[in-house]
Amino acid sequence: MKRIGLLLLILIITVPMVQAQQRITIYNHKLSPVLQKNKNLFSEKKEQVFWIVTSNVDSAKTYFRTKQVAIRILQEHAGGLLVVSAKGPIIDSLVLNQPFVRFVDVPRQPHEELAVGTFDNSLNTINLVHSKYAQLTGTNLVVSVKENKPDTTDIDYKARYISTPLSSNLISSHASYMCTIIAGGENSFYTGSGVAPAASLTSSNFATLLPDGENIYKQYGISVQNHSYGTGLENYYGADAAAYDASIINNPGLLHVFSSGNSGNLTSTGPYAGINNMSNLTGSFKMAKNIITVGATDSFGNVAYLSSRGPAYDGRLKPELIAFGEDGTSGAAAHTSGTVLLLQQYYKEKHGGTLPPSSLIKTILVNSADDRGTKGPDYQAGYGSLNAYKALQGLIAEQYFSGSVATNTTQTFSLPVPANTRQLKVTLCWMDPAAVVNTPKALVNDLDLELVENNTGKTWQPWVLSPAPIIDSLLLPAVRKKDTLNTVEQITIDNPSPGGYTIRVKGFSVTAGGNQSFSIAWLADAADQFQWQFPTAVDYVKSGENNLLRWSSSFNTTNGSLEYSLNKGLTWQTMENTTTLSPGHTYWQAPDTCSTALLRMTVNGQVFTTDTFTISPVLQVKVGFNCPDSAMLFWDHIPGINTYRVYRLGSKYLEPLTTLTDTSIIIRQPGNNLWYTVAPVITPTREGTKAYTINYQLQGVDCYIKNFLVELENGNTGMLMAEIGTTLNVKSLTFEKLTSGGYEPLQTFQPVSSLFFNMADNNLVDGVNTYRVKLLLNNGMVIYSNPQSIYYFITTRYLIFPNPVKVTGYLSVLSKEEPENSYLLLYNTLGQQVLQYRLQQTVEMVPLSGLKSGIYFVMIKKNGKKDFTTKVMVQ
């Protein structure tokens, strides 16, 4: 009977569990891969957040209401996505079996993907845009950085951060770095210069992993959202991917830019499971079609080892672009987001304030990218490295078309190709409707790109990569064929024949929306062209250091001759007689000087000269004194420089305060103006590198006195050390010691010709030895340091002070040795114990709250025996 009873009990317990598991297994196709691996979440009795994708939101709401399902709807997103809070068993028993439920997922924990390292805005020609188009700064545009909150007090985006309820409560240095890369104002140092330094910034918490509400982007005027974070390897088209695709469709001027991830060395999951170093994008949201996903490179354009690679789960090309981000893909995404802002500003100002279609900006960026690694597109470098200047040139020259097609319709565009073209490139891009969640193939509307040479009728199809889940296939170069996966298609022709060409866009299968709009960008790179990319007029070359020079060249010639001039081109000094052109860069050990300079490269008798740039060292600004009514700043003299310009941080940016020939300045009544920097003036119109901007109140300098330290040396000598910020107007410095009659001088230094002072006191007294520094200025003003003390034990093992002590204060107890099982006891004049305090450290602060004024007897007991007695007056 006992055995039968036990079997019944087991059946009672296990049958419901088996039934639950069977239910979940039946609806596996509705579960994300994350939930399929974590089915234990359905047995959790506490509420948690789920994402439910429905075919009809109204049907879901009606069902939840009429059946009184214990579900709270937290958010509603486009595409039938509901963010809900519910217990796992409720989802299992009452939700998964409903016909209107298409897909269920759970939010994952995002993590940041970069700590910013090296500054370099020349690889992606951002500096070239700043130099040639200074008016493009991102003005009147807003970028959202979706992650934790940046430090909103950072001076590099002073008065340009927009606070909203969407921000995280957590402040992150990573978010601050991203904001600086995108829109830093160069207030801290030149490395704090962002791509779009006048853009406004806001932030949105990345905890939900879903796009913000459509009204949010419109309310705050957000045209770019940067996403420099990831989760794990998630190779499926999730609810978040569909939501981001829908977000861009519903906000045609908005672009979402994502980092590809820092997991390029990991083994893939999903359809590409088991393949090493491929298909390892960090998050299902990065499987979206309409976003831009960006991988990272080093300063030479090589794909970083840890940069996550494609393909996407269904074989689509990812990442689309790569950009500089030597320590991770976060910075690469941020550089791209900033570039999008510059392109949007140019287009917006030329088109009556209208933002460009996101498909146009995406196709322009892809089409202008510099091919890297394997020739043509690949799963490591995408379509190539971001080239901000070339993208802007394509936009300015209006080398683009727009159109729309339906199924079985074709739109054509005429394209004249000039002689001497080294390469012709044409790129098609469309923003595809969101696909059904968890679909095996994300493409909805399929368009086809073709290029036809009019004279011969020869036709070219786009480059297509093999999506086969075999490593050898994934590494094959692209071939020309019909593309049935991607929403970006590209055709290139090397050395095309001059003449007329026709671009054809066919609507192979447009099943959603009736007509599919698209954008095309084209580019005809001429042969025998050379352009300097670094240095430009806005760049800083470091004197006496190795500097990486950059250029682009379409010459077939192997070498050029490289020279520099420090006298406006009157004379030239040869650096390299045979500079190899193909790498596009070389190092130059700049002379140790502060000067304007020029570089020139001679190729086949043609001379290409840089803009005038500056070579300079970096000054260090120091604080001489920081008094209530004034502050003094000073810096070292630079040989050959006689003039310096002082800057002060204004309402948003650094503003010139004054120009002087001295190497110091006294700022009278500085008020709330705390931040200052200095630049050497090389010519009336050219400056060297500004010093790091400092807050003069945070440099550890008070009113002349910078440091005053005292310490016990050799057990019996007091060492006194002082440092002042400047000798200017200082008549004398004196070390003083507190005695029963007040402070008495120990040693005076006059005249004052040094910033550092020290002396030894060989006459320490038993107990507390207190000192201070006295400064006498030439105008008779006296400045004292804060007092510092040395505690010297001779006849006693304990020091108790102050005496008298305030009733609201603390009684300090110093022990010569680490106290063990020791207590301090206080008795009033009647012999009553009024306080007991256990001593556990050599320095204790004993509170006296509750005591009355009067004389008290102090006793210290150690191991139950009297060890010390004294008395103290409480006031």
Which residue in the block uniquely carries the two structure tokens 């009553």? 832
pLDDT at position 577 is 81
Question: Is the pLDDT assigned to residue 529 strictly greater than 70?
Answer: yes
Q: Where are the alpha helices (DSSP H) in 422-539?
A: 471-474
Domain 530-613 has CATH 2.40.170: no
Element (H, E) at 498: none
Q: Which of 645, 623, 641 is nearest to 632 (CA)?
A: 623
Mean pLDDT of the chain: 91
Element (H, E) at 329: helix 329-350
DSSP, res 270: G
Other C-beta atoms lying within 10 Å of the C-beta of residue 533:
23
Question: Is the pLDDT assigned to residue 15 strictly greater than 50?
Answer: no
The average pLDDT across 217-238 equals: 95
Per-residue pLDDT of 720-750, as tens digits, reads 999 998 898 899 999 999 988 889 999 999 9
pLDDT at position 41 is 81
Superfamily of domain 618-684: Immunoglobulins (2.60.40.10)
pLDDT at position 11 is 42
pLDDT at position 22 is 53
Return the bridge partners of 513, or none.
Answer: none
Q: Rounded distance, CA 374 to CA 720, Å?
A: 67
Confidence at 17, pLDDT banded by 50, 70, 90: very low
Query: What distance lies between CA 530 and its chain's CA centroid?
Result: 33
Cα–Cα separations (whole angstroms), residue 532 to 6, 317, 324, 599, 607: 84, 31, 18, 9, 12
Taking each helix axis from N to C end, the angle separating 388-396 and 358-368, rounded to the nearest 10 degrees, works out to: 120
Q: Rounded distance, CA 49 to CA 54, Å?
A: 16
The separation between the first and the last C-alpha atoms of the chain, rounded to the nearest angstrom, is 84
Of the listed ranges 320-324, 490-494, 688-692, 867-871, the least confidently predicted one is 867-871
Cα–Cα separations (whole angstroms), residue 871 to 811, 833, 863: 12, 13, 21
Q: Rounded distance, CA 847 to CA 807, Å?
A: 9
Domain 2-105 has CATH 3.40.190.290: no
For residue 252, whether the previous peptide bond is cis, meaning omega lies within 30 degrees of 0, is no
Over the range 270-286, which residues count as b (16 or more CB within 10 Å of their CB) and which as e? bbbeebebbbbbbbbbb
Other C-beta atoms lying within 10 Å of the C-beta of residue 495:
10
Confidence at 792, pLDDT banded by 50, 70, 90: confident
Comparing 317 with 327, the larger pLDDT belongs to 317
The average pLDDT across 831-849 equals: 89
Q: Which of 376, 527, 394 is nearest to 461 (CA)?
A: 376
Architecture of domain 111-525: 3-Layer(aba) Sandwich (3.40)
Return the SS3 of 493.
strand
Q: Are 156 and 201 in contact (CB under 8 A)?
A: no
Of the listed ranges 427-436, 495-504, 770-779, the least confidently predicted one is 770-779
The average pLDDT across 230-236 equals: 92
Q: Residues 6 or more apart from 326 whose CB is under 8 A from it?
A: 117, 118, 120, 296, 297, 298, 299, 304
Confidence at 433, pLDDT banded by 50, 70, 90: very high
**Strand pairing of 810-815 and 798-801?**
antiparallel
Question: Is the pLDDT assigned to residue 8 strictly greater than 50?
Answer: no
Q: What are φ and ψ of residue 261, in 5° steps?
A: 120, 160
Where does 798-874 sit in CATH, by number? 2.60.40.10
Q: Rounded distance, CA 34 to CA 55, Å?
A: 21
**Strand pairing of 516-526 and 421-429?**
antiparallel
pLDDT at position 740 is 84
Q: C-alpha angle with apex 312: 311 to 314, nearest 5 degrees?
A: 105
pLDDT at position 59 is 83
pLDDT at position 4 is 47
Q: Which of 389, 413, 388 is nearest to 400 (CA)?
A: 413
Q: Where are the alpha helices (DSSP H) in 774-824?
A: none
pLDDT at position 21 is 52
Which one-letter amino acid corresponds to residue 731? Answer: K
Element (H, E) at 17: helix 2-26
What percent of the chain lies above the pLDDT cut of 90? 70
Q: Name the pTM for this structure.
A: 0.83
Other C-beta atoms lying within 10 Å of the C-beta of residue 141:
22
Q: Which of 277, 295, 275 is nearest to 286 (CA)?
A: 295
Domains of the chain, by residue range, sit at: 2-105, 111-525, 530-613, 618-684, 705-792, 798-874
pLDDT at position 45 is 80
Return the bridge partners of 677, or none.
Answer: 647
Q: Are 212 and 254 in contact (CB under 8 A)?
A: no
**Strand pairing of 222-227 and 255-259?**
parallel
Q: Rounded distance, CA 345 to CA 133, Å?
A: 12
Architecture of domain 705-792: Sandwich (2.60)
Per-residue pLDDT of 589-632, as tens digits, reads 999 999 999 999 999 999 999 999 999 999 999 999 898 888 99
pLDDT at position 27 is 66
Q: Rounded distance, CA 136 to CA 125, Å?
A: 14
Q: Which of 71, 620, 66, 135 is nearest to 348 (CA)?
A: 135
Q: Rounded distance, CA 603 to CA 580, Å?
A: 11
Do the domains 111-525 and 2-105 match in fold? no
Q: Where are the beta strands (DSSP E) in 673-805?
A: 675-683, 686-687, 694-695, 705-713, 717-724, 730-739, 742-749, 756-761, 767-777, 782-784, 788-792, 798-801
Which residue in the block uniquely carries the two structure tokens 């600004």? 621
pLDDT at position 507 is 96
Question: Is the pLDDT assigned to residue 78 strictly greater than 90?
Answer: no
Which residue in the block uniquely carries the two structure tokens 């080239």? 387
